[in-house]
Structure 1
C-alpha cells in the first residue's frame, strides 16, 4: 500500500509538472505567433487607459499582434494571473514588481506609462470640514481598493507622514467605481483613495471633494515628496528574455499610444474608447480623461528616482517588503531596453 501510495504521489506530481510545462509552452508558442493575453487591473480606470486605447487605435494589430485584454478589479488580483501563467503581461502599478521580488519572483516593468499614481484622496462632503488633510485622519474610516494594494500603502504613507499612526484610523476595503461610491454614501468610509472616472462622478454629483490630487507631478511631489511611478506593463523576466521580439512589439504599440495621448485632446481620446466606458455620460468621461491625462509620460521610460521613492514607501508599510528592503534589487524590477529602441 505504501509503495502504491508513493507511486501515486509521484505520478500526480509528474502530471502537475507536465501541465505547467504545457501551459508555459503554449503561452510561449502563442506569443511567438503574435497572440498575447494581458490582464488589466481595472480596464475602465483612466489610469490604465493606454491598454484599451492601444487596442482601439489598432496599434497592436499594426505590430502584427493579436492582443486579448482581460480585466480584474484590482492590481493585486491581476498579478495572480501572471504568476499562474494564465496571462503574459499585466497592466498595473509598478510597485507590484517590488512586492513580488520579496517572494523570489522576477517581474519587470517593460514600459512605464506614468510617473505619478493618478490617485485622488476624496472626502465625503459631509466630512469635508472635518478632514482637510491627512493630519485629520485620526479616528476616521478610510477607503482603499483592497488590503495590500497600492492605495492601501499610499494611505498609510500619507497618514504617517502627517503624524497619524496607522492604528489611529480604520482602513476599509472599498473597491473602485460603484462599490467605492456606495461605501462613501453609506457612511462606510469618511474619505478614500480612488481614480477617475470615479473621482469625476463624485465631484460632479457633489458627493465628495478633493483633498489630495496625485494626478499631476506637482500634486504627487507635494503629497509623497517625490514621483511615484505607477501604470506599467509588467511581465515575467523569463518571458521577457525569451520573447524579446514580441515584447518589443508590445512596447512599440504602447509608446505610440502614449505619444497619441500627449498630442490629442481628451475629447479625441474619449471618442476612440468603447462607448460603454462613458457610463452614459460622455461629457463627464471626457472631463475624467482631461483631469487625468497629464499623468501619462510620452516615452514609456522609468524615472530612476521615482522607482527609489516607491521602494521607500513600500519599505515602511508593506509587511513583505519591510523585512527585505535591503535585499531588493531595483534594477531587476524594470528595464528600459525596449523603450530605448522605439523609433522616433
Structure 2
C-alpha cells in the first residue's frame, strides 16, 4: 500500500514538473536581455520607408520581446545618425548606406535587421518652378529639397545628378522633412525639385505638382537607378553594442521580423487602422495609393542580401570621393545572425 502511494506521489510530481516545462517554453527560450530600455532614433517616421518600425511599435511587438522603446523622430536620417554618434540613441532606424559612410570615417556601425529592400525614394521636378524643364542639366544652380542634408534622400539625388555630370556643389540642398513641410516647401516655390519618400512623392505626383525623373519605389526602378538590389531602411547600432548586447539585438530583430511577417498579409484597411492618423496627411485614398506603390519595396524577412551591400558601396563610391571601395570591409557593416534566427522563428 505504502509503495503504491509513494509511486503515485512520484508519478504526480513528475507529471506536474513535465506540465510546467511544457507550459513555460517561452521562459526558457527567451534569454535575459542585457538592456531592456532603448532609445531609438529615426528620421521621418511617418514615411513608408519606416513602416515596419511603426507596425512593430503599434502592434506591441517590442513589448512582446521584453523591450521598452522610446522612439525619437528627427527631420532626416543624418540627424538620427548624429543622435547615435552623440550617445543619445542606442539604435537607429535608418538607411543602410550610413554604415558604409561611417566606416570610411573609421567609425563602425552595423546593421542588425533589414526593413526595406528598395530605397522608396523618388526625385521630382516642380512643374510650377520649372515648367520648361528638359533634362537634369537644367537643375544646375537650383534648390533641391531633401529630408535632411546628408540623408538617403540626399544620397539618391547626388547619385542621379552625378550621372548627368552635376556635382553636389552645383546645387543647393534644402532640408524639408518627409511630411506636410515637404509638401508646403515644393508647392510654395521654396525649392525647384525634390528627392523624397512616400506618401509625400505620390501625393505631389498625383496632384500634378511634380514630374518624376528618377524612381526607386519599385524593385524595377531601383534596378534601373542602382544597377542592382539596393538595401534601404535597417536597424543599425554601434558595432560594440552588438558584442555587448546580443540578446537585446536578437529581441530587436525579432520585433521587426514579426512586423514584416504581419505586413506580408496585411490589407490596406489593416494599415489605415494601425498607423497614426497624422501619417495619412489628410488624404486616406492617396495614402493607400502610395502604399500599393511601395509595398514590394518592404523587406520580407529582415535578411540583408550580400549583393545589395555591394550595390550600395558601388553607388556611394561613384560620387563620394572620400569612400574608397577597396578600403571598405562590407562584412563588418552588417550581420544576418539575428535576422536569420527571427526569420526561422516567425517563418517569415
TM over 0.5: yes
User: 1: distance between equivalents of 2:311 and 2:137?
Assistant: 21
- Report the Cα offset of residue 135 of structure 1: 5.1
Gaps of 5+ in 2: 1-31
- Report the Cα offset of residue 129 of structure 1: 5.7
Deviates more, 1:155-164 or 1:139-148: 139-148
Alignment of 1:138-287 (within 5 A): 138-166=140-168, 168-287=170-289
SS at match of 2:40: strand
Partner of 1:335 in structure 2?
335
SS at match of 1:284: helix
> Judging changes above 3 Å, is the alpha-carbon distance between structure 1 residues 68 and 167 closer, same or farther for their aligned structure 2 residues?
closer
- Report the Cα offset of residue 221 of structure 1: 1.0
> Judging changes above 3 Å, is the alpha-carbon distance between structure 1 residues 128 and 291 closer, same or farther for their aligned structure 2 residues?
farther
SS at match of 2:212: strand
Do the aligned residues in 2 keep the contact of 1:43 with 1:71 (CA within 8 Å)? Answer: yes
Do the aligned residues in 2 keep the contact of 1:158 with 1:224 (CA within 8 Å)? Answer: no
- Report the Cα offset of residue 112 of structure 1: 1.2
- 1:129-160 deviation per Cα after TM superposition (whole angstroms, max 9, x unaligned): 63355355345433223332222222121122
> Judging changes above 3 Å, is the alpha-carbon distance between structure 1 residues 160 and 276 closer, same or farther for their aligned structure 2 residues?
closer
Do the aligned residues in 2 keep the contact of 1:142 with 1:169 (CA within 8 Å)? Answer: yes
> Judging changes above 3 Å, is the alpha-carbon distance between structure 1 residues 165 and 76 closer, same or farther for their aligned structure 2 residues?
closer
SS at match of 1:176: coil
Deviates more, 1:76-85 or 1:173-182: 173-182
User: 1: distance between equivalents of 2:333 and 2:178?
Assistant: 27
- 1:161-188 deviation per Cα after TM superposition (whole angstroms, max 9, x unaligned): 2344445544444443233223322333
Partner of 1:55 in structure 2?
57
- TM-score between the two structures when normalised by the length of structure 1: 0.83
Do the aligned residues in 2 keep the contact of 1:144 with 1:192 (CA within 8 Å)? Answer: yes
- Report the Cα offset of residue 316 of structure 1: 3.0
> Judging changes above 3 Å, is the alpha-carbon distance between structure 1 residues 122 and 69 closer, same or farther for their aligned structure 2 residues?
same
User: 1: distance between equivalents of 2:141 and 2:159?
Assistant: 16
- Number of aligned pairs? 313
SS at match of 2:128: helix
User: 1: distance between equivalents of 2:74 and 2:166?
Assistant: 32
Partner of 2:26 in structure 1?
none
> Judging changes above 3 Å, is the alpha-carbon distance between structure 1 residues 275 and 147 closer, same or farther for their aligned structure 2 residues?
closer
Partner of 1:13 in structure 2?
none
Partner of 2:326 in structure 1?
326
SS at match of 1:104: coil
Deviates more, 1:279-288 or 1:254-263: 279-288
> Judging changes above 3 Å, is the alpha-carbon distance between structure 1 residues 55 and 64 closer, same or farther for their aligned structure 2 residues?
same
- Report the Cα offset of residue 223 of structure 1: 1.8
> Judging changes above 3 Å, is the alpha-carbon distance between structure 1 residues 223 and 134 closer, same or farther for their aligned structure 2 residues?
farther
User: 1: distance between equivalents of 2:169 and 2:278?
Assistant: 40
User: 2: distance between equivalents of 1:33 and 1:174?
Assistant: 34
- Report the Cα offset of residue 31 of structure 1: 6.1
SS at match of 1:32: coil
User: 2: distance between equivalents of 1:257 and 1:97?
Assistant: 23
Q: Which of 90, 93, 98 in structure 2 is aligned with 1:91?
A: 93
User: 1: distance between equivalents of 2:249 and 2:108?
Assistant: 16
User: 1: distance between equivalents of 2:163 and 2:218?
Assistant: 20
Q: Which of 95, 98, 104 in structure 2 is aligned with 1:102?
A: 104
Do the aligned residues in 2 keep the contact of 1:157 with 1:313 (CA within 8 Å)? Answer: yes
Do the aligned residues in 2 keep the contact of 1:120 with 1:213 (CA within 8 Å)? Answer: yes
- Report the Cα offset of residue 331 of structure 1: 0.7
> Judging changes above 3 Å, is the alpha-carbon distance between structure 1 residues 138 and 67 closer, same or farther for their aligned structure 2 residues?
same
SS at match of 1:126: coil
- TM-score between the two structures when normalised by the length of structure 2: 0.82
- Report the Cα offset of residue 67 of structure 1: 1.8
